[in-house]
Amino acid sequence: MFATASAGRSWLMLELCGPWGPSAFLESPNIVDPALGLAIVRRAEAASMRIVAIRKHGRRPDVKRWRWFIARSDLDASSLVGGEVDGPDAYLDIPLDGDGEAAVDGPLVAICSHGKHDVCCAVRGRGAAAALDAAYHENTWECSHLGGDRFAATMLVLPEGLAYGRVDGTDPVEIIRRHEDGRITGSHFRGRTSLSHEVQAAQHFARQNAGDDRIDAWRPLGEHSEDGVTRVILEAEDQRRLVVTVRAYLSADSVMTMCRSTMPGSVRRFVCDSIRWA
């Protein structure tokens, strides 16, 4: 599961309260007009933002709300701001740079429950969302597709951009408790979305080697790739440098990447060729 976090440095999370179609913004006409949804998506994409629909777990309220959040997941400047508008049209007016907006206490925890995209997300995601909602109601949201459906239930923790998988097979509440202590849960951790898959893999092997599960451990200083082999330089807490060489390959075994998949395929994985102190 490691080194599979989908890319994302900036996240735009918009509340769409109600049932989503296969595409939450383009095919949920009872919530948002498709033309408006397309304009919202294109605006986010033009700003190089990942856009995700969110909603609260449980029974839908009689009166819809339109809350939004912007998360920056860079290592040096993670931040979370948010607010609320009167309707979906106003999503086009949100300042996407987040400047001058109210900071929000994190974490924001989003669990994919997008059943019209893949039924696994609904079956597995909603159970995990229910458990988290009971313990962290203000922080917990159901969300649309995050990527990596084969790892359902998938979970994203913002603003750091930490991706987890198969959280329905463990205690998701404990994952967030460990997060509040500044630690990851390695057995379900997919990686940090602001980092390349190669760096995600190198950090995994460094944590495995040293037993250091702190969120901010093993800061990446550089990477160089050639012929499928990547040399990643990581900085330890004492400022020593660890050089991790990882190699990518396609799995020989066949993987069903979604519940609705009809044809298996190969996926990219990583092995550690070497790990040494510089």
**Shared domain check, 247 and 110:** no
**Shared domain check, 163 and 34:** yes
Domain end among 186, 208, 228: 186
**Shared domain check, 214 and 132:** no
| pLDDT reported for residue 255 | 65
Q: How many other CB atoms sit within 10 Å of the CB of residue 29?
A: 10
| pLDDT reported for residue 269 | 92
Task: Please report, for the domain that includes residue 271, its CATH number.
Answer: 3.10.450
| pLDDT reported for residue 85 | 97
| pLDDT reported for residue 259 | 63
CA 159 → CA 16, 41, 45, 179, 193, distances in Å? 20, 20, 19, 12, 10
Edge-to-edge strand ranges of the sheet holding 219-226 = 219-226, 229-235, 241-250, 268-277
* Full domain range(s) for residue 125: 10-186
pTM metric for this prediction: 0.94
Residue 16 token pair: 């769409």
Has residue 3 been placed in a domain?
no
**Phi/psi zone of residue 239: left (φ > 0), alpha (ψ -120 to 50 degrees), beta?**
left
| pLDDT reported for residue 22 | 93
What is the DSSP-derived secondary structure letter of residue 147?
A: S
Has residue 134 been placed in a domain?
yes
**Shared domain check, 222 and 167:** no
The mean pLDDT values, 10 residues at a time, for the chain of 278 residues are: 95 96 95 97 97 93 93 91 97 90 93 83 88 97 92 96 96 97 96 97 96 94 94 96 96 64 75 96
Q: How many other CB atoms sit within 10 Å of the CB of residue 28?
A: 21
| pLDDT reported for residue 262 | 61
Domain end among 127, 160, 186: 186
How many domains does the chain contain in total? 2
| pLDDT reported for residue 228 | 87
